[in-house]
A and B are shown apart, each in its own frame.
Chain A
Amino acid sequence: MSRKMILRVPKFQEPKRMEKSEAQRLWLLLKDAIVEVQHMNASTLSFEELYRSSYSLVIAKRGDILYTGLEEVNNHHTKNLLDKIAQAVDERFLIELNSQWQQYKLQQIMIHDILMYLDRMYVKEPQLKVFDLGMFKWKQNVLIHSQINDRLVRMLLGLIHMERNGEVIDGALMKSLIQMYVDVSLKEKETYKQEFEERFLLATSHFYKSESNLFITNNSCGAYLKKVEIRLIEEEARIKQYLDESTGPKLIKACEDELIANHMQTMIEMETGCRTMIQNDRFNELKLMYRLFQRVENGLVHLKNEFAGYVRNEGHKIVNQPENLKDPNALITSLIEIRNRFEKTLSQSFANNRDFINSVNTAFESFLNENDKLSESLALFIDKKLRGGFKDSNDQEIDVIMNKVILLFRFLSDKDVFKKFYEHYLAKRLLSGRSFSEDLERTMISKFKQECGNQFTSKMEGMFTDMRLSKDALDGFKNYLQTSVEMGKLPKIDMSVRVLTQGFWPTFPPHSCTLPPLLSQYCDLFTKYYCHAHTGRRIIWQTNIGTAEVTFRLPKKTHVLALSTYQMLIMLLFNDAEKLSLKQMAAGTSISFMDIQRSVKPLYSGKYKVLKRTPAVEKSKELSENDIFELNLNLKCKLHRIKFAATSQTDSEPERQHTRQRVDEDRKIEIDAAIVRIMKSRKALIHNDLIVECTKQLSSRFVPQTSMIKKRIENLIEREYLERFPDDRRRYRYLA
């Protein structure tokens, strides 16, 4: 390439300084064209010619002539339009305004196109772009002019009011006119907001304030809710149809405030309101209420509190109903029923909202622990089910009931009390052979295990192990008897023994009694056999929970009586006596008088009477020591085997007391352990902190009383696990 510059001088060099007259000529040409555009006569103009004229003016640095000229032309034009529009009457006004506006917008686009080069190369901030200048002139000279603005807004709001009252209006016209406010806004839709939106929102609030007040006083809550929902849907549609989308949230908020927030209290309290809906399980109405309340601040809190309050109240009624207090089965059944009912409300109406569920649970927790009945009632409920109450249920139904039991159990604050009762009734079921199904027993226990861990169920499982091992031990014993020398001398009886590991089983109150010599000999033999097989073990006989079968020979018939061990002992006394007073029975058996009373009662007052009182007295009368009994030789019974209840199914008050006491004993140990655990890791702690920690640690099992913790601390100080700081008596130190 040659080094010499050979840049060709182009044909069309940058124009030399343009003569003023030439600039004027070009402007006039453009001005005429713009006026033609404004009169909608653009189709004969040459775009290229006009564009080139504006281009030439700009590159000749004469853009100012063009820009100021344009401003004037626009000014003039819009002022003319104002007169034309303002003259239109009634509905013509909106139509005229709209059609002029639509045309004006198109013209401005065209003018912008022609002057595109000016717009790009000449216009600098803060000058308005060509199109914006057109918009601004329209706003200044037409829209916000006193003859237009107020009239327009009033008419628009009037139309919206009509539409809200059910009339049909021209949505497209509305959209175009409202959009005009947005189009003429230079930044952030300020004209739209100031001139239209503000007044629109105010009118909306007014409208809904009066409508809602009127409607809610004349209609049911359910009808009102439906009305509100429809109104909200309508307003959503309105936004889409002709409002600017930025108004959406504000409009909906205004509606929600007037329609929902301002009437929340009324909707809850009114006769057909929230309370009634909850009471009558009106799931759909509640669901709607939930949906609507959700939209306003704190709405759900109101609804939730109302619901939780109702739940607490219902629960309170159930746990305090006299019939329920007497009948654990009815109590638990009603509790499961209301639980099911509220779960249904939660899922059908309240979208299983976490907060709602939690507050219902809190309510359950509070009324379930209102009195200390529940632990035992729940244990008894399961006891009844496992004794055969499940007979007619299929697996799935059983599972549902068990899960409900677990659910109620979860709310108990004193789980240890429940555990004691459960173990107690389990032991009774197992020992009396009254458990309906071992599988179900185990399923139930595994559910507790899942809920509370191994520790909770280890004793229960131990009981099952004992039952199995006892069977083995008994088989071994029978073999032993056959080979035993001593056996030959003894009459044969069929004895069955269960070996219960101490600790797994509830400790039954110790009772003593004198066994007949034969039985006593068998017991000794078993002890000998068992202790030989398991060295280091000691056997304590618990005769009070045993059963026996006794042959009862009447002159004409023989029966087999299924009795408790005590009853057997009493009956055996009649082998040697015709008549016996209770006192004599007690002396002959060494059984406590109270147990004698309880054992005798079924024998003379049940359906089949093997004993009779002499002289005969009314049944209800309390037994006294000196009451005398004899065998009822006239017993009439078609059955060969007659079964007698050993004791009543529910425990007597002393037994219950005993269970409670054992719970208290266990609690002491648990509290001690917790205190030591805490102090071991913390070394030193202030009294109050220790109480708090301790309560927290134990809360999964029971809620310890502060006074009890205090006593245990004192006790631990005495036993030198802890000491007080000499200078601060409220602080404790752990002694390793």
Chain B
Amino acid sequence: MENVFNNQDKLVHDLKRLFLDPKNFNDFQIEIKNRNDLPSTIFYCHRGILSFRSEYFNALLRSKMKEYQEGKVIFNDISSQTMKNILEYIYTGKIEINEENALETLINSKKLCFEEELIKFISEYIIKL
């Protein structure tokens, strides 16, 4: 349509930058405990985006428990690489699966209650390996 300007590609690009930048007006942190006493990895996120893109985060924030009060959730059963991958999906709707991250992504997608389509996609990917 000639009266519509579409720059959604840029939007996706900007959203991707959004969760990687610590100065992004964030209001919620995701802390990943690394093994071997390495320092934690912290992702700077946005309650609005998290709660609208994931049932899990929606429930977490809605319950107004400790995480809501502190503005932070701590995961100790997920690698920072996988978390980053999943956050990228939350922010941009796109995720890249490879042999290394497939299984962990699948397990955490299930736990975080992502949509069936994504879970099916990863499962089929794993079966084909």
Whether the Cβ atoms of B113 and A42 lie closer than 8 Å is no
Alpha-carbon gap, A109 to B60, bound state (A) = 11
Q: Which residues of A contact B67 (CB under 8 A)?
A: 46-48
Q: Which residues of B contact A28 (CB under 8 A)?
A: none
Question: Which residues of A, 1-33, contact B by the 8 Å Cβ criterion?
Answer: 5-8, 10-12, 14
B10 in the interface, Cβ–Cβ < 8 Å?
no
A113 in the interface, Cβ–Cβ < 8 Å?
yes
Q: How far is the CB of B121 from chain A (nearest CB, A)?
A: 17
Q: Which residues of B contact A55 (CB under 8 A)?
A: 111
Alpha-carbon gap, A52 to B67, bound state (A) = 14
Whether the Cβ atoms of B111 and A117 lie closer than 8 Å is yes
B6 in the interface, Cβ–Cβ < 8 Å?
no
Binary contact track B67-78/A, C-beta < 8 Å → 1, others 0: 111000111011
B64 in the interface, Cβ–Cβ < 8 Å?
yes
Q: How far is the CB of B37 from chain A (nearest CB, A)?
A: 15
B100 in the interface, Cβ–Cβ < 8 Å?
yes
A186 in the interface, Cβ–Cβ < 8 Å?
no
Tell me which of B65, B79, B103, B107 contacts A46 (CB under 8 A).
B65
Q: Which residues of B contact A153 (CB under 8 A)?
A: none
Whether the Cβ atoms of A47 and B60 lie closer than 8 Å is yes
Whether the Cβ atoms of A116 and B74 lie closer than 8 Å is no
Q: How far is the CB of B91 from chain A (nearest CB, A)?
A: 20
Question: Which residues of A, 46-65, contact B by the 8 Å Cβ criterion?
Answer: 46-48, 50-52, 55
Whether the Cβ atoms of B111 and A45 lie closer than 8 Å is no
Whether the Cβ atoms of B62 and A43 lie closer than 8 Å is no
Q: How far is the CB of A9 from chain B (nearest CB, A)?
A: 9
Given contacts A7-B103, A48-B60, A116-B59, whether A43 and B65 have CB atoms under 8 Å apart is yes
Alpha-carbon gap, A120 to B78, bound state (A) = 21
Alpha-carbon gap, A45 to B67, bound state (A) = 8
Alpha-carbon gap, A695 to B38, bound state (A) = 108
Alpha-carbon gap, A7 to B103, bound state (A) = 9
B55 in the interface, Cβ–Cβ < 8 Å?
yes
A378 in the interface, Cβ–Cβ < 8 Å?
no
A545 in the interface, Cβ–Cβ < 8 Å?
no
A110 in the interface, Cβ–Cβ < 8 Å?
yes
Question: Which residues of A, 331-389, contact B by the 8 Å Cβ criterion?
Answer: none
Whether the Cβ atoms of A7 and B129 lie closer than 8 Å is yes
A591 in the interface, Cβ–Cβ < 8 Å?
no
Q: Which residues of B contact A48 (CB under 8 A)?
A: 60, 67, 73-75
Tell me which of B63, B111, B113, B129 contacts A47 (CB under 8 A).
B63
B66 in the interface, Cβ–Cβ < 8 Å?
yes
Given contacts A7-B129, A46-B67, A48-B67, whether A113 and B77 have CB atoms under 8 Å apart is no
Q: How far is the CB of A348 from chain B (nearest CB, A)?
A: 50
Whether the Cβ atoms of A12 and B77 lie closer than 8 Å is yes
A44 in the interface, Cβ–Cβ < 8 Å?
yes
For A7, A10, A42, A47, which residue has the most chain B Cβ atoms within 10 angstroms?
A47
Whether the Cβ atoms of B99 and A44 lie closer than 8 Å is no
Alpha-carbon gap, A33 to B56, bound state (A) = 18
A114 in the interface, Cβ–Cβ < 8 Å?
yes
Whether the Cβ atoms of B59 and A43 lie closer than 8 Å is no
* CB-CB nearest in chain A for B60: A47
Question: Which residues of B, 72-126, contact A by the 8 Å Cβ criterion?
Answer: 73-75, 77-79, 99-100, 102-104, 107, 111, 113
Whether the Cβ atoms of A44 and B113 lie closer than 8 Å is no
Residues of A bordering B, CB below 8 Å: 5-8, 10-12, 14, 42-48, 50-52, 55, 109-110, 112-114, 116-117, 120
**Sample of 11 A–B contacts (CB below 8 Å):** A12-B104, A42-B63, A44-B65, A46-B65, A47-B60, A47-B66, A47-B67, A109-B62, A114-B59, A116-B56, A116-B59
The list of the 9 closest CB pairs from A to B, nearest first, reads A113-B59, A47-B65, A47-B60, A46-B66, A113-B63, A45-B65, A10-B103, A10-B104, A110-B63
